């Protein structure tokens, strides 16, 4: 038997578009709404409609390692200033020595043809580039820049729609590391939230002054 009180409860459930037990359209719509902000960001990013003003508070997520102090000392010996060393250590895990040879080519995903300064801590070698293109490249020679951004945990408004190539100009022993996950806040087209970047790619860090100026590169 349904009492007057139960009728009121059932009417309230019906007004919300739910079914008894918690399922129904209202729950589905809420889940859909939670996906919309990332969808708006992804669309704007792929269309090149974002700038650094759309992002704030980029943070890497690192589990401290016993080797971190040794990595920091190595980076100092490689010429990096103290203000940058902590960021580099935070950006990666499982740091290991990596030899760079004269004439070797290094690569960076960039935005709209921009070629960053070669005195930089984050590069891919040919193998890393081919691995990334193997995951996100398309048959027409372009690539999914959103996938690249997530795989390399690229910060802020790096659109990852172009590539720069750099020559190694002096032999050195630098570092390789696995790229750590990161998060950043965004506000795009009226949608805001926190984006998680899984990372997982491999980055290379040559010594300062060992890499020549870059040029635009087409794979």
Do 91 and 181 form a contact (C-beta atoms < 8 A)? no
Mean pLDDT of the chain: 85
For residue 206, the 8-state DSSP code is P
**pLDDT for res 14:** 33
**pLDDT for res 70:** 97
User: pLDDT at residue 36 above 80?
Assistant: no
Q: What confidence tier does 5 reach under pLDDT thresholds 50, 70, 90?
A: very low
**pLDDT for res 16:** 32
Domain ranges of the chain: 66-217
User: pLDDT at residue 120 above 90?
Assistant: yes
User: Does the CA dihedral 125-126-131-132 come out positive or negative?
Assistant: positive
**pLDDT for res 182:** 96
Rounded to an integer, what distance in angstroms lies between the CA atom of residue 141 and that of residue 133? 9
User: pLDDT at residue 6 above 70?
Assistant: no
Of 41 and 137, more confident: 137
**Mean pLDDT within 146-171:** 95
**Mean pLDDT within 14-35:** 37
User: pLDDT at residue 122 above 80?
Assistant: yes
> Of the given ranges (25-39, 81-95, 164-178, 181-195), which has the lowest mean pLDDT?
25-39
* Predicted structure pTM score: 0.81
Side-chain-side CA neighbours of residue 44 (13 Å): 21
E-strand stretches of the chain: 55-60, 92-100, 105-110, 124-125, 162-167, 172-179, 182-188, 191-197, 202-205, 215-217
């Amino acid at each position: 038997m349904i009492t007057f009180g139960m009728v009121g409860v059932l009417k309230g459930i019906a007004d919300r578009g739910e079914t008894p037990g918690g399922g129904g359209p209202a729950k589905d719509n809420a889940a859909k709404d939670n996906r919309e902000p990332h969808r708006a960001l992804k669309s704007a990013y792929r269309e090149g409609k974002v700038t650094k003003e759309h992002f704030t508070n980029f943070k890497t997520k690192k589990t401290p390692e016993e080797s971190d102090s040794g990595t920091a000392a190595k980076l100092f010996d490689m010429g990096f200033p103290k203000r940058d060393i902590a960021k580099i250590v935070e950006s990666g895990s499982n740091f290991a020595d990596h030899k760079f040879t004269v004439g070797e080519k290094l690569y960076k995903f960039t935005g709209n043809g921009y070629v960053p300064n070669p005195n930089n801590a984050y590069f891919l070698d040919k193998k890393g580039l081919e691995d990334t293109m193997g995951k996100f490249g398309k048959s027409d020679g372009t690539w999914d820049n959103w996938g690249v951004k997530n795989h390399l945990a690229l910060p802020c408004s790096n659109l990852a729609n172009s590539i720069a190539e750099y020559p190694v100009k002096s032999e050195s022993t630098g570092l390789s590391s696995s790229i750590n996950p990161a998060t950043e806040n965004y506000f795009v087209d009226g949608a805001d939230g926190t984006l998680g970047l899984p990372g997982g790619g491999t980055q290379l860090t040559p010594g300062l002054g060992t890499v020549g100026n870059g040029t635009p590169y087409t794979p």
